[in-house]
Amino acid sequence: MTPPADDEVLTLFKQSDALLRGHFLLTSGKHSEWYFEKIRLIEKPAALEKIVDLLAAKIRYETPDFDYVVSPAYGAIAIGFLAALKLGKRFAFTQRAEEKMTVRPGFAGLDGSRAIIVEDILTTGGSIQEVLACLKERRVEVADIYVLVDRTGGTAQVEGRAVRSLLALKVEAFDPGNCPLCRQGLPLIKPGASDKKT
């Protein structure tokens, strides 16, 4: 099986209403033509399942040998869980306890295993870095890192490791004074605030 073609992925994201095209005010204050509303992925499980089908096919092809899928709470849990289900692997998640990323207690088989990390969106890689650190403490060998959407356009690395993505999107951000969308007179949309920094 070969990895899915980019346009197939793009179509599915658009169908899920998670990938929006318009004229958006980013939290940075800049303007952008594209906005990724990740909560929409969770809101529409049937659409998410189709996307995770493609992710699972990619993982099966690129990284067949591992024991666990590990995802950070909360946004990526549904994605990692579905991927693990489709791949016949185990699943665990990490969460912040008193600011520190930790593995949720009770995942007894995780220590010393071989895992992949599955995250929803890569922007700066901060969450993935934290997951890597806490898995290292549990002697987990990280075979690969996957994200649904890489907003850096596919160039990002986390701690020197490549991040594999289903969709690599280079989102151009414009200064308000120099925005082609403003010049076209498109109304500016302020999307709902994200629940965490990624």
Binding site for Zn ion (CB under 5 A): 31, 179, 181-182
Residue nearest to Zn ion (CB): 179
Count Cβ atoms below 10 Å from residue 133 Cβ, excluding itself.
Answer: 14
Q: Which is nearer to Zn ion, 134 or 181 (CB)?
A: 181
State in angstroms the smallest separation of the CB of 14 from Zn ion: 21
DSSP string, the chain: -PPPPHHHHHHHHHHTT-EEEEEEE-TTS-EEEEEE-THHHHH-HHHHHHHHHHHHHHHHHH----SEEEEETTTTHHHHHHHHHHHT-EEEEEEEETTEEEEPTT-TT-TT-EEEEEEEEESS-HHHHHHHHHHHHTT-EEEEEEEEEETB-S--EETTEE-EEEEE-B--EE-GGG-HHHHTTPPPB-PPPPSS--
Least Å from the CB of residue 22 to Zn ion = 10
Q: For Zn ion, which is the closer residue by CB, 31 or 164?
A: 31
Q: Smallest gap, in angstroms, from Cβ of residue 26 to Zn ion?
A: 10
**φ and ψ of 150, to 5 deg:** -105, 110
Question: Which residue, 48 or 179, has its beta carbon nearer to Zn ion?
Answer: 179
Minimum Å gap between C-beta 170 and Zn ion is: 18
Of residues 85 and 182, the one with the C-beta less far from Zn ion = 182
CB of 10 to Zn ion, least distance (A): 23
Nearer to Zn ion, 57 or 181 (CB): 181
